[in-house]
Amino acid sequence: MTRFELPPVCGLPVDRVAAMRRQLAAEIARRPRRKPILIAASAAVAAAAATAGGYAYVQHPAPVTDKSEARCYTVASLSDGAESFTFVAEAAVAGQSGPGPSQVDNALSVCAGFWRQGILRPGPDGARGAPDPGRDHPVPPLVACVLPDGTAAVFPGTTLTCAALGLPNAAG
């Protein structure tokens, strides 16, 4: 049977170790530093991608194509439990149809009037239908969105509400 034995480890002379360190330091110092350029380029690409992604995510306003009616919601939801109060736009805006004031502005003002009169109240069952003429009720911030069928829908909330519901903000 053959046995292999490694020779004992020999240390390098001190001057040789010092020479290797100097050579390694000189090589590192000689190489160009590319990290700042790489970091700046990566940041620029990331910023461009974030801007493009943000532009694609933010929904752009869309026109209301069904001007015959609008819906006032009491909660910012399109689920089955969300109740809406639908009104015929021409009747609600005193016979204004066709060219004239924006239907979106009219829908917002009419829905605000329903809130003020107490016909609409916060919550999923907030479409009461009976006005409370004794006092002015609080009106939450309202935003007009466009439903897939082109109808104006007014929700309590901000312009971010439409995006959260997957609907475009109403243009106009």
Instruction: Choose between 111 and 33: higher pLDDT.
Output: 111
Give yes or no for a contact between 170 and 61, defined as CB atoms under 8 angstroms apart: yes
d(CA 90, CA 70): 10
Listed in sequence order, the residues at least 6 apart from 111 whose beta carbon sits closer than 8 Å to its beta carbon are 70, 72, 85, 120, 142, 154
- The confidence score (pLDDT) of residue 73 equals 86
Q: Comparing 14-18, 67-71, 84-88, 116-120, which segment has the lowest mean pLDDT?
A: 84-88
pLDDT digits (tens, 9 = 90+) for 119-165: 887 776 666 666 777 778 888 999 998 888 888 889 999 888 888 88
User: What integer is the mean pLDDT of 44-54?
Assistant: 70
Give pTM, 2 decimals.
0.57
- Reading across the β-sheet that carries 151-156, which strands appear in turn? 84-88, 66-73, 151-156, 142-146
Predicted pLDDT of residue 148: 87
pLDDT of residue 92: 43
What tens digit of pLDDT does each residue of 153-171 get?
Answer: 899 998 888 888 888 888 8
Mean pLDDT value across the chain: 75
| Residue 100: pLDDT over 50 | no
Q: Which two tokens stand for residue 78?
A: 């399109």
